[in-house]
């Protein structure tokens, strides 16, 4: 699609902050040419972080579909959150492998089948990284988490319907879990 009236041009960028999890850049951009004769670029702040995966693990339990989910503490909201498993890619790791690894580490479940559901910018207004979504099926429970030091994760099975109805209210407070649910619902009746 051609939308020259909306496209900005980046003239340069500079790192202005860095920490373990992300860095912040100033991006110097000129507005869409056809709508402005302004000469100086404007400054936009962009957060760069590693790509990561979110996995929707589905099992059938007594005729009901359930998600394998994780309780964990989140330092941004300073609150508990009930989420799909996931985590950042290791260097050189394929998205699908990262998804399966994170699922196994956080929950002890290994998938026989893993399918890409979609790929998003978590917040393209200010973030440059990507979040990749996967569906994990035919799960085998190996019964043992493999958590990082200082990682505290509690595994639970939750009915699909409960998650679907609960989104947007505690403990389903992580917006990107809503994204994951929307993608899952593309594949089946929710």
Report the site for a copy of itself in 157-176 (rule: CB under 8 A).
Answer: 164-165, 167-169, 171, 173-176
Choose between 45 and 141: whose C-beta lies nearer to a copy of itself: 45
Choose between 110 and 116: whose C-beta lies nearer to a copy of itself: 116
Shortest separation between residue 140's beta carbon and a copy of itself, angstroms: 26
Shortest separation between residue 172's beta carbon and a copy of itself, angstroms: 8
- CB atoms near residue 30 (< 10 Å): 15
Strand partners, 47: 24, 127
- Nearest 5°: CA angle at 146, between 61 and 123? 80
Quick check: 188 binds a copy of itself (CB under 8 A)?
Answer: no
| 174 exposure class (CB count in 10 Å sphere: 0-12, 13-18, 19+) | buried
- How many CA within 13 A on the CB side of residue 34? 5
Q: Which of 32, 138, 162, 188 binds a copy of itself (CB under 8 A)?
A: 32
Dihedral of the alpha carbons of 184, 185, 187, 188, in degrees to the nearest 10: 120
For a copy of itself, which stretch binds (CB under 8 A), given 29-37, 94-102, 104-112, 135-143?
29-37
Choose between 30 and 110: whose C-beta lies nearer to a copy of itself: 30
Choose between 94 and 152: whose C-beta lies nearer to a copy of itself: 152
The residues in 54-113 that bind a copy of itself, with binding defined as CB under 8 A, are: 71-81
Shortest separation between residue 143's beta carbon and a copy of itself, angstroms: 18
Which of 106, 101, 85, 108 lies closest to 151 in space, CA to CA? 106
Collect all residues with Cβ–Cβ distance below 8 Å to 17 and sequence separation of at least 6: 23, 24
Quick check: 120 binds a copy of itself (CB under 8 A)?
Answer: yes
Shortest separation between residue 115's beta carbon and a copy of itself, angstroms: 12
Q: Which of 141, 146, 185, 187 binds a copy of itself (CB under 8 A)?
A: 185
Query: How do beta strands 131-141 and 52-61 pair?
Result: parallel
Quick check: 33 binds a copy of itself (CB under 8 A)?
Answer: no
């Amino acid at each position: 699609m051609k939308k020259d009236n909306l496209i900005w041009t980046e003239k340069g960028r500079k790192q202005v902050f860095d920490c373990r999890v992300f860095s912040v850049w100033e991006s110097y951009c000129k507005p869409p040419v056809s709508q402005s004769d302004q000469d100086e670029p404007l400054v936009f702040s962009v957060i760069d972080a590693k790509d990561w995966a979110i996995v929707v693990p589905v099992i059938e339990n007594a005729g009901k579909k359930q998600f394998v989910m994780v309780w964990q503490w989140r330092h941004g909201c300073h609150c508990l959150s009930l989420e799909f498993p996931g985590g950042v890619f290791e260097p050189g790791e394929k998205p699908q492998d990262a998804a399966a690894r994170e699922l196994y580490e956080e929950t002890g479940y290994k998938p026989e089948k893993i399918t890409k559901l979609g790929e998003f910018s978590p917040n393209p207004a200010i973030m440059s990284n990507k979040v990749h979504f996967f569906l994990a099926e035919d799960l085998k429970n190996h019964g043992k988490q493999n958590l990082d030091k200082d990682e505290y994760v509690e595994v639970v099975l939750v009915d699909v319907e409960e998650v679907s109805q609960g989104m947007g209210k505690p403990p389903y407070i992580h917006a990107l879990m809503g994204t994951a649910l929307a993608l899952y619902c593309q594949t089946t009746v929710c």
